[in-house]
Each structure stands twice: as structure tokens, then as C-alpha cells.
Amino acid sequence: PVLRITERALAKVGYKITSLSDPVAALGLYSENPNDFDIVITDISMPEMSGDQLTAKLLEINPQQLIVLCTGYSEKVTAESAKKLGAKEVFLKPMKPTELVRYVRKVLDEN
């Protein structure tokens, strides 16, 4: 449900969205077309591969990729720890769709 809400909120304001719930499949798709993605938003807690692992693999492919981590546990990931991983920011869940849209625009504009 969170993935669909995020997808709808960003598509509604004109972003082209590719969303996958499987991090291994997402990495495979990204590997084929890394220049097709302006920003990657990933949850920190996922099956098969955590968000920090996915971040590391994405940055191996494209060190300039904008990555934002999402988490519902602020003590598990902080803005500082996310930046050490190479992510630009951390979104704390739950986030209202309007906040998400503003946050994505901010990250894109700053980078």
C-alpha cells in the first residue's frame, strides 16, 4: 500500500515512476538502464536485500545517483548515517503524499 500511495502521489504531479517491491528485481532493472533514473527511493527494511545494501550496489553502478532512504524507525537510520551510506536524505514514514512530493522536489533541486 505504501508503494502505491507513493507512486500515485508522484505520478499525479508529473513524475515518471517505476516502482518495484522486490529490491533484487529493482537492482536488475537499474543495472540495465542506470541513466533512466533521476532519483531512487528505497525502504531500509526489505526482504532479500536491505535498503543500505541496495544503496551500496546502486552507487557502485552510478556514484552520482540520488538515493533517498525511507524508514519507520528513526533510531535505525538517521540523516547522518544515510549520508555515510551515500544516500542524500532519509524520509521518515509515515509521510503525507504532499510532503513526499515536496521532499522529492527539494532533493532534486538541491542536487
Q: What is the pLDDT averaged over residues 98-102?
A: 92
Query: What pLDDT shows up at residue 46?
Result: 87
Summarised one tens digit per residue, pLDDT across range 58-99 is 999 999 999 999 888 766 677 788 888 899 988 888 888 999
- Whether the full predicted model's pTM is greater than 0.85, yes or no, is yes
CB 79 within 8 A of CB 14: no
Closest to 111 in 3D by CA, of 56, 44, 63: 63
Backbone φ and ψ for 68, nearest 5 degrees, come out as -125, 130
